[in-house]
Amino acid sequence: MEVIHLISGPRNISTAMMYSFAQRTDCKAIDEPFYGYYLLNNGLNHPGRDGIIASMSTDPDEIWKSIVEVPQLCSECFVKNMAHHIKDLDPLKFLGYRTIFLVRNPALILRSYSKVLENPILDDIGIKQQFELFEVLRNNQVAVVDSDDILKDPKRTLEKLCRKLDIEFQPSMLEWAAGPRIFDGVWAQFWYDSVHRSTGFKRPSISTGEQMIQEHSSTYNEAMKYYSNLSQFKI
C-alpha cells in the first residue's frame, strides 16, 4: 500500500484534491486525521470544535496506527492534512510517504479564510509549517504543486503530479459526483459547501482584493516569504 500524503493550508482546494484522488481505483481517503488533536492541544475555538474532538481520536499514536491499518486490499491511501495540525509531530514519521505540498497565493487564502474566522494570523494558514516540513522532507519523494496551476489546467497538472509521485494518472481524477462523501470529517458542514456543489476542478472568478491585503498586511507579507520559497520547487 502506498500512502500519498497531502500537506496543505486551509481554503486551498485540498478537499477537492482529496475527492480527486478518491476517484482513483482502489484508493481510500482519510480526512484531516489530526484535526481533533490540534484543536484539543491549542485551545482554538473553531466552528464545531467540541463535535470535532468527540468524533475522532486525539491520541497521535492511535492516529498513526489507524493510518497504518488501512485495509491491505487498498493499494493507495490518500491522507489529507493541514500543515499546522501536524506542526508538533515528529516529521520523520512522514519519510515513507509520497508527499504533496499544496500551496496557494496567501492573498487568496486569507480572503477565503477570513469569511469563516476573523483576523487570521500566520499560524492559522499553515504556510510557515509547510515550509518547515518541506525543509525536512525535501530529499524524500515530494512534489510541490500550486492550486492555481491545477485550476488553470487540471489534466496537465495532475498528470505532472502523478509522474512526480511515480503513480499512474487516471482520468477519473478529473471529475466526481456532487455531494458529501462518507470520509468527510464532521467539520464538512462548516467548510465544504463549495466542494459539495462541485463536480470537478473549476477556476473561481475571484480577485485578490487590495483592501483584503491592506487589512491583513502583516500576515500577508510574512506568508508571501514562505510561499515564494516553496514556489521555486513547484512542478
Q: Which domains does the chain have, with CATH numbers?
A: 2-231 (3.40.50.300)
pLDDT of residue 114: 72
DSSP-derived 3-state class of residue 134? helix
Q: Give the CA dihedral 185, 198, 78, 87, nearest 10 degrees.
A: -60
Instruction: Count CA atoms within 13 Å of residue 130 on its CB side.
Output: 36
Q: Please state the φ and ψ torsions of residue 98, each to the nearest 5 degrees.
A: -90, 115
Binned at pLDDT 50, 70 and 90, residue 3 comes out as very high
pLDDT in tens, 12-41: 999 999 999 999 999 999 999 999 999 999
Q: Is the pLDDT of residue 68 over 80?
A: yes
Task: Tell me which residue of 88, 94, 131, 92 sits closest to 4, measured CA to CA.
Answer: 94
Angle between helices 217-231 and 106-113 (to 10 degrees): 140
Q: In what order do the strands lie in the sheet with 142-146?
A: 27-31, 76-82, 2-8, 98-103, 142-146
Residue type, 230: L
Q: Is the pLDDT of residue 207 over 70?
A: no
DSSP annotation of 38 = H
Residue type, 143: A
pLDDT of residue 120: 78
Whole-number Cα distances in Å, 57 to 22, 34, 40:
22, 8, 11
CA distance 98 to 6: 9
Taken in order 232, 131, 211, 201, the sign of the CA dihedral is: positive
DSSP-derived 3-state class of residue 63? helix
